[in-house]
Chains A and B, each alone.
Chain A
């Protein structure tokens, strides 16, 4: 049985924004990776960034500074 726990998930409505965020997070040392948007956040499709919950403030700050749009930034229970 796969274990699950809460992660921070940041969703984007544009792939370009997801790519810009991925690059920026790597530069700023914010760990994580791109995943498909979990259904709790969107019944559609698209890309999101999965990271640890403690990075919420840091992620918000760097995205705002760079002017990168995001759609949602929520804790979501996901597989490890």
Chain B
């Protein structure tokens, strides 16, 4: 199989990740639960993973790295825990449902007021619209770093500067950018960074988390076992335990730890450069094919390793199915959990076929995918 659905999850993981999970499953007890050797192995592994994630994302304190099972959980914790009832929030048309649905819930249940900065017909964010929507009483800006649908990138440093000037919380969804794009929370002015472990970071599914700037207060979404301060009636106040009720995915985090080592050794810039080069090669291969429509401003140098397209008026699901059955190429069709972006692109009905690239893809695979798109377009 030629796997080009890496924006959903990376299927090919570094061998060290697989080895680390296997080792963890034969040696690790429960982190923070006791001091026998198995429990301590788990506690040490989780701690080292916090340190590595803090380093990768420019988070000043490892104890402000909170682990969750994915970005969605991290975003729910951030959005529901840091935005006050009745607050005003600015977000964007580029967002995934993992941002939108918690915000809509807050709108329905907590009376927050929502405004959306526009995306143009190619999915680029209108920064002036976003800056215009931010008001004196705005509580937070919640935005993605990279569209999961088109790979469009958001200039976080620009938004971060504005948020800092106005004293507004900046919550970022880095699901698509973590691992292929440098992120520095301090430099970019990010208050809460939400990430997943199983996409660009090349770790196991069931891992993710949020990095929190010192001084940012988040109410716990869940309460429960913590392994510390057992006689307190409520969840301990200190991070990370405040937001980590229940057993962590220690086995998965051992894999994420190995993945973070792999990424540090290889280099985020090196990984990003290769993925973008593959993505550009694919774009250049398909852009001129009659009947193919690609979404996005490809004149922008800085895009994510994602290309979304449609062929004529064909149902994107049928195209993806032909790619899978006839060519053994894995892509994602339909709506990509990004309803407002589909509306901006005019693809709510047709959906789009998304090709997304990873560190482990090759130019040969890209060329075979281009050939397949050409053949389907030629009927």
Using a CB–CB cutoff of 8 Å, the interface residues on chain A facing chain B are: 12-20, 22-23, 34-36, 43-47, 69
Contact = CB atoms under 8 A, between A and B. Distances in A.
A14 B238 contact: yes
Contacts of B238: 13-14, 69
B31 A15 contact: yes
Contacts of B228: 12-15, 44-47
Contact of B43 (A19, A36, A45, A69): A19
Contacts of B38: none
Given A16-B63, A16-B240, A45 B50 contact: no
A45 B236 contact: no
Q: Which A-B residue pairs are the 6 nearest by beta carbons?
A: A19-B47, A46-B228, A15-B32, A16-B63, A44-B230, A45-B230
B245 to A, nearest CB: 13
B53 to A, nearest CB: 12
Contacts of A46: 32, 227-230
A30 B63 CA distance: 23
B44 A19 contact: yes
B368 interface: no
Q: Max chain A CB contacts within 10 Å: which of B228, B236, B240?
A: B228
B43 A18 contact: yes
Q: Max chain B CB contacts within 10 Å: which of A18, A36, A69?
A: A18
Contact of B35 (A14, A17, A47, A69): A47
Given A14-B241, A15-B228, A20-B62, A36 B34 contact: yes
B40 interface: yes
Given A44-B228, A45-B228, 10 more contacts: A14-B228, A14-B241, A15-B227, A16-B63, A19-B44, A20-B47, A35-B35, A44-B229, A44-B230, A47-B43
7 contacts: A13-B229, A13-B236, A15-B228, A16-B47, A16-B63, A34-B35, A44-B231
Interface in B205-243: 227-232, 236, 238, 240-241
B40 A14 contact: no
Contacts of B50: 16
A15 B43 contact: yes
Interface in B34-60: 34-35, 40, 43-44, 46-47, 50
Nearest to A35: B35
Contacts of A35: 35
A68 to B, nearest CB: 9
A15 B63 CA distance: 9
A79 B13 CA distance: 47
A40 to B, nearest CB: 15
Interface in B5-40: 31-32, 34-35, 40
Q: Max chain B CB contacts within 10 Å: which of A36, A43, A47?
A: A47
A52 B4 CA distance: 57
Nearest to B32: A15
Interface string B235-256: 0101011000000000000000
A39 to B, nearest CB: 12
B229 to A, nearest CB: 5
A23 B50 CA distance: 14
Contacts of A19: 43-44, 46-47
Nearest to B229: A44
B231 A14 contact: no
Contacts of B35: 34-36, 47
A34 B38 CA distance: 12
Contact of B63 (A14, A22, A44, A47): A14
